Amino acid sequence: MTAPLCSVILCTHNRRRWLGRAIRSVLGQTHQNLELIVCRDGGDPVRDIIQDFNDPRIVFIDRDENRGYGASLNECFGRARGQYVAYLGDDDLFYPRHLGVCVNAMEAAPSVGAAYTDLLACHANIGQDGRIFVTRKNIDISRDWDRFFTMHYNHVLGGSLVHRRELLDKIGPMDTEIRVLVDWSMIRRMAMFTDFIHLYDIGGEFWRYDESDSSDRISDRMRRDKRVFDANMRRIRAERPPKPWPMMPDTAIILPARSVTGKVRKVLADIAEHTWCPRMTYVVGPEWERHNLPASKCARWFVQNQRETFESAILRCLQSADADFATIIHPKSVVKAGWIGAAIYNLAQSDRRAVAYPLANQPNPVPSLYRREELICAMQAHPGESPRDAARLGGISHESAYPDVPLSFDGGLEVAGTNASRARHDTAAVVYSGMVDQFAPRQWGNPLWMAESQAREHIQAGRDDLALPLLTRLAQDRPTPGILHALAGLYRRQGMPEQARMLYNDALAMLKE
Amino acid sequence: MSTPNQHYAILMDAALFEIEERNFPAARAHLELARYGNPTSPAPLIALGFVHHAEGNRESAAGQFSDACRLAPNDPLPRICLAELEAQGEGFHNAAIGADKILHGLPNDKLAILAMLQFRDCSGETKRAAAELAGFVRRTGDHGLAKAVADLLRYCGQDKDAVAMEAMA
C-alpha cells in the first residue's frame, strides 16, 4: 500500500543560516511520500540553498515582498497536494519519525482530523565568535487535547501539527492582517471542526537563538508591542469560519439598546475583550441608531420595528440568529474575564434538556445562557413575557451553579503550584498524581507532564524513593535533558556513579545543537 | 525540571561529580564548556582552580582564582580561595567534595554546609544558601552560627526568619 502524500509547508524569511537544516529534517523523514513547499516571504534570497538539495519533492515559491506568514500560508495551501499537511518553522526541525507517527495515528482514527506531538523548546546564545551555546531544551508544552482550552489559549504548537487536507477547505483562508499567533488562529478554527490526537512522541525542536529580548523574529517583535498583541488576540477570537461547526457551539449575545450610548460601547468592547468562545452580538434597537454601531466582525445591528416591543424584537432576533446558544444581556451587565465561559462550557457538556446556566458575576436579575431553540419555543408559547419569565414558564430550569468548571485542570495546577511555593512539596506531589486519575477519563490526564511535576516535588520533599520510579519511567518513555539530569542526581545520591555519569553524558549530548 | 541556563547547571553538576570521582580531565572539559556558556559566572573558574590544585598544579589554580577575582571583583569567594591558596594551599579540593557531600547525604556536616554556602553564593543563590544554613542551625543546634546566619537572612530580606534565628543565638 502506498503511504499517503504529506505536504510540509515551510515559510522562510531571513533564516539562511538555519534553512538547510530545516529542509534536511523534512527530507530525512521515515515517511518518505512527501512534498516540501518552501515559500520565501521576502528577505534574504534562498534559491541557491533549495537548488543545492536538487530534490524534486521540493516546491519553491519565491516572493520578494514580505507579505506575512498568513499570506504565505494561503499561497502554500493553494499549492499543497497532500492528503495530510504539516508545518515547519525555517529555523526549527522535525525528528525523523514525526510525520510517520502522526499520519499513522490519523490513519488509525479516520474520524480525527489532526494530530500533534510534543516539541523540544531549544534556547541558545550565539557568542561573539559565532559559536552556539544551547542553554536549555525542554518540553514547554505537553498538553492533552482540550477544545475549550484551545479557544482560550493555544496548546498545540504549529510545528508539531499534522492535519488532513480537507480541514483547510473548512476553515477558510488565513486572515492576512493577523501577524502574531498565526498558528493559534488556524488551530482554533480547526478545533471547531474536529478532534485532535495528542501523541507523546517528541516530534522535533523549535529554536530561539537569543536569550535576551531582542529576537528579530517578526512575531516576537510584534508580541512585544502589547497594543498590537492585544489587537491580534481580539481579531483571532472574533474569527468565524464558514458554518456548520460540528464541534463548537455558536452563541448569540443579544443586547437590547434604544441608542448606542457609552455604556453600550463599553459592553461591546468588553465582550470583544473577554469572550473566548465564538459568538455574535446582536444589538437590538431602532433603525436610526444602526450607523452608530462600532464596526466589528462579531457585532450586528438588529432592527426593532416602530411600536414593536423589545420582547417581540428579541424573539425575531433569536429566530434569525444562526446560533446554538443565546443570552440576553443589559447595558449594565458586567462583562469581565470569565463572564460567560462557564455557562457555555456547561451547556455544551450537558445532556440535559431545558436547562439554562447563569452568566457569572452579574447583578440581579442574573442573565442566563439558553439553548436558542428552547428559548424560542418558550417565548412563542408565552408572548408578552420577558425572555426569562417565558423560559421559566416554558419549563426551562435556571440553574444557579455550574456542575463543572472550564479550565479545571488549570485550577488543579494552581493548587499544586501554591502548595509547592509554600514548600508543601508532598501535598503538591499528591495533587499532581491525583490530577492524572481525575482527568484521565476525559483524556486530559497529561500523564507524562504530571509525572514529571510529581517527581520534581518528591525531590524537593527529599523523597528520592518516590521520585526514582517516576523519573526512570520518564527517562525510558520520553527523555529530556531535565529528566536525565534529575535522575543522575538521584543515582549519585544512591551511590551509583556509573549510572549517574551515563545520564549526565546523555543529558549533555541532548543539549548539543 | 529546568533552570534558565540548564546546560550550564548540568555541566557544573557533572563537573562536581567528576571532581568527586577524581576524574579530573572530564571535570575540566565540563568546566571549560560551562565557562563558555556562562562567561559572567566565576563558579567554573573557581572549580577549575580546585581541579588544578587537586592535580598538584598550584600555579594554575592561583591563575584561575585570580581570573575569577577579576571577573567578579565584588564576590568574596574567589578572594578567599586565592588567599587560602596563598596561605596554606589546602582545603580547596576538600571544599569542593564537601560541597558535594551536602547534596549527597551528609546534611549535618559543617564543613560541607559552609562550602556549599560559598558555592551557592558564588552562583547567585545566596537566598537559597541562607535558607539551607538556617535549616542546618535548626537541625544541629549549632548556636555559634546562629547570629551569622541571622545576619545573612536579613541581608537576603528574610527579616522574619532572621528574628527567629537571632532568638537561637
- For A488, name the nearest residue in chain B, comparing CA atoms only: B14
B117, with CB counted inside 10 A (0-12, 13-18, 19+), is: buried
The confidence score (pLDDT) of residue A215 equals 54
For residues B60 and A281, give the distance between their C-alpha atoms in angstroms, rounded to a whole number.
74
Q: Averaged over A167-184, what is the pLDDT? A: 94
In angstroms, what CA-CA distances link A222 with A21, A218, B135? 26, 6, 46
User: Chain A: nearest CA to B100, how far in angstroms?
Assistant: 10
Q: Tell me the residue type at A513.
A: E
pLDDT at A174 over 80: yes
User: Angle at which helices A481-493 and B6-20 pack, to 10 degrees?
Assistant: 20
* Binary contact (A138, B3; C-beta < 8 A): no
DSSP summary character for residue A184: H
Site of grid cell 520578494: A64
pLDDT digits (tens, 9 = 90+) for A61-101: 999 999 999 999 999 999 999 999 999 999 999 999 999 99
Spatial CA neighbour of A27 closest among A1, A64, A2, A52: A52
CB atoms closer than 10 angstroms to residue A74 = 18
Work out whether the CA dihedral A413, A418, A422, A424 comes out positive or negative: negative
pLDDT at A386 over 80: yes
pLDDT digits (tens, 9 = 90+) for A23-64: 999 999 999 999 999 999 999 999 999 999 999 999 999 999
pLDDT digits (tens, 9 = 90+) for A191-211: 999 999 999 999 999 998 865
For residues B89 and B92, give the distance between their C-alpha atoms in angstroms, rounded to a whole number.
8
Q: Taking a C-beta distance cutoff of 8 angstroms, is the pair A11, A66 a contact? A: no
| Series of mean pLDDT values for 10-residue runs along chain B (169 residues) | 80 92 94 92 90 87 90 77 65 55 59 66 69 83 82 84 85
Q: What share of chain A is helix, strand, coil (3-state, %, to 5)?
A: 45, 20, 35
Closest CB to B7: pick one of A497, A505, A511: A511
Q: Taking a C-beta distance cutoff of 8 angstroms, is the pair A133, A215 a contact? A: no
pLDDT digits (tens, 9 = 90+) for A230-255: 889 889 999 999 999 999 999 999 99
pLDDT digits (tens, 9 = 90+) for A472-506: 999 999 999 999 999 999 999 899 999 999 999 99
The confidence score (pLDDT) of residue B105 equals 57
Q: Averaged over A107-122, what is the pLDDT? A: 96
Cis (ω within 30 of 0) for the bond into A403? Answer: no
Task: Give the alpha-carbon dihedral of A308, A310, A311, A313, to 10 degrees.
Answer: 60
pLDDT at A256 over 50: yes
Q: Averaged over A182-191, what is the pLDDT? A: 96
The confidence score (pLDDT) of residue B104 equals 57
DSSP summary character for residue A291: G
What's the gap between Cα A348 and its chain centre? 18
Closest CB to A508: pick one of B14, B36, B103: B14
pLDDT digits (tens, 9 = 90+) for A336-348: 988 999 999 999 9
Task: Return the higher-pLDDT residue of A391 and B5.
Answer: A391
* Binary contact (B13, A482; C-beta < 8 A): no
Q: Averaged over A348-359, what is the pLDDT? A: 94
Q: Averaged over A263-292, what is the pLDDT? A: 94
* Binary contact (A133, B7; C-beta < 8 A): yes
A470 sits in which H/E element: helix A464-477
Site of grid cell 527567629: B164
Q: Averaged over A178-198, what is the pLDDT? A: 95
Q: Which three cell numbers stand for residue A43?
A: 528577505
Q: At CA B18, angle to CA B15 and CA B19, rounded to 5?
A: 85
Spatial CA neighbour of A435 closest among A460, A421, A417: A417
Site of grid cell 567554573: B44
- Residue A369 phi/psi, 5° resolution? -105, 125
Please write down the long-range contacts of A454-458, taking CB distance under 8 Å and 24 or more positions apart.
A454/A429, A455/A483, A455/A486, A455/B1, A456/A486, A456/B1, A457/A416, A457/A420, A457/A425, A457/A426, A457/A428, A457/A429, A457/A432, A458/A425, A458/A429
The confidence score (pLDDT) of residue A440 equals 77
The confidence score (pLDDT) of residue A213 equals 47
CB atoms closer than 10 angstroms to residue B135 = 13
Q: Tell me the residue type at A85.
A: V
Q: Averaged over A146-155, what is the pLDDT? A: 90
Question: Which residues of A have a CB under 8 Å from any CB of B?
Answer: 125, 127, 131, 133-138, 211, 452, 455-456, 480-483, 485-486, 488-489, 492-493, 497, 500-501, 504-505, 507-508, 511
- For A505, name the nearest residue in chain B, comparing CA atoms only: B14
- Residue A201 phi/psi, 5° resolution? -70, 155
User: Chain A: nearest CA to B83, how far in angstroms?
Assistant: 32
Q: What's the whole-model pTM score?
A: 0.84
For residues A317 and A283, give the distance between their C-alpha atoms in angstroms, rounded to a whole number.
9
Cis (ω within 30 of 0) for the bond into A365? Answer: yes
CB atoms closer than 10 angstroms to residue A309 = 12
The confidence score (pLDDT) of residue A404 equals 83
Residues in chain B, overall count:
169
- Count Cβ neighbours within 10 Å for each residue of A397-429 and write b for 16 or more, e otherwise: eebeebeeebbebeebbebbeebbeeebbbbbb
Q: Strand, helix or coil at A276?
A: coil
The confidence score (pLDDT) of residue A317 equals 97
Spatial CA neighbour of A280 closest among A330, A333, A228, A320: A320
Q: If you count residue pairs, one on A and one on B, with CB atoms under 8 Å apart, how many are there?
A: 73
Task: Return the higher-pLDDT residue of A276 and B111.
Answer: A276
Mean pLDDT of chain A: 92
In angstroms, what CA-CA distances link A393 with A353, A369, A375, A386? 15, 16, 11, 10
Residues in chain A, overall count:
513
**DSSP letter string over A218-251?**
HHHHHHH-HHHHHHHHHHHHT--PSSP-TTS--E
* Binary contact (B6, A137; C-beta < 8 A): yes
Q: Which three cell numbers stand for residue A260?
A: 448606542
